[in-house]
Chain A
């Protein structure tokens, strides 16, 4: 079945460091891919998405490229800020199942000043 695997956290970085959170997937067909973020005390928010191979999703300085050949959708940011501290989830819609999302286990990011 479809699945998503994320690098385990927690990840601790200093402010202005480069961030990569790895995400790989197995899927039937070529689904859209999503990154959701959960800031402390808040709900899940869509951070970015890509709908087809080689698409790059971007938002708030974060980027992720849909790589069909490596079945990956790694999240990157060139210079993290303390306000980026959150839990990040990679997700995809299960094939032909009404839109339900399959999530990775989440990666907690802590950015220190």
Chain B
């Protein structure tokens, strides 16, 4: 069974540019989460999808971040325009409904210069 995959693995962009991160969850997992780790600090929750619906987006830092999950399969997280403080590692995780264990992807390392 394929795990959670994320693309790209690394992205280096300039301030003001746009970047789109993609996450493919484990097949059949209705729950999809985005998290971010900035500068070696704790991993922080960004948002949670149940199928295609946003269940909780309380962790989204501001309106420069837009997440979608069309059709309830893969998800994208777009940052537009990117700022220096957006640099960090963005993790995606998925889980089955009713299961606590979340399965994480390898992360996307974003560097905004």
Contacts and interface: CB of A to CB of B under 8 A. Distances in A.
Interface of A: 4, 32, 34, 36, 42-46, 49, 51, 89, 91, 93-94, 97-106
Contacts, number: 66
Interface residues on B, range: 20 to 34
Interface stretch (B11-19, B40-48, B62-70, B73-81): B40-48
Interface of B: 4, 6, 31, 33, 35, 37, 40-45, 48, 50, 55-56, 59, 91, 93, 95, 100-107
A43 B100 contact: no
A87 to B, nearest CB: 9
B43 A43 contact: no
Residue of A46, A49, A98 ringed by the most chain B CB atoms within 10 A? A98
A44 B91 CA distance: 8
B42 A103 contact: yes
A94 B100 CA distance: 11
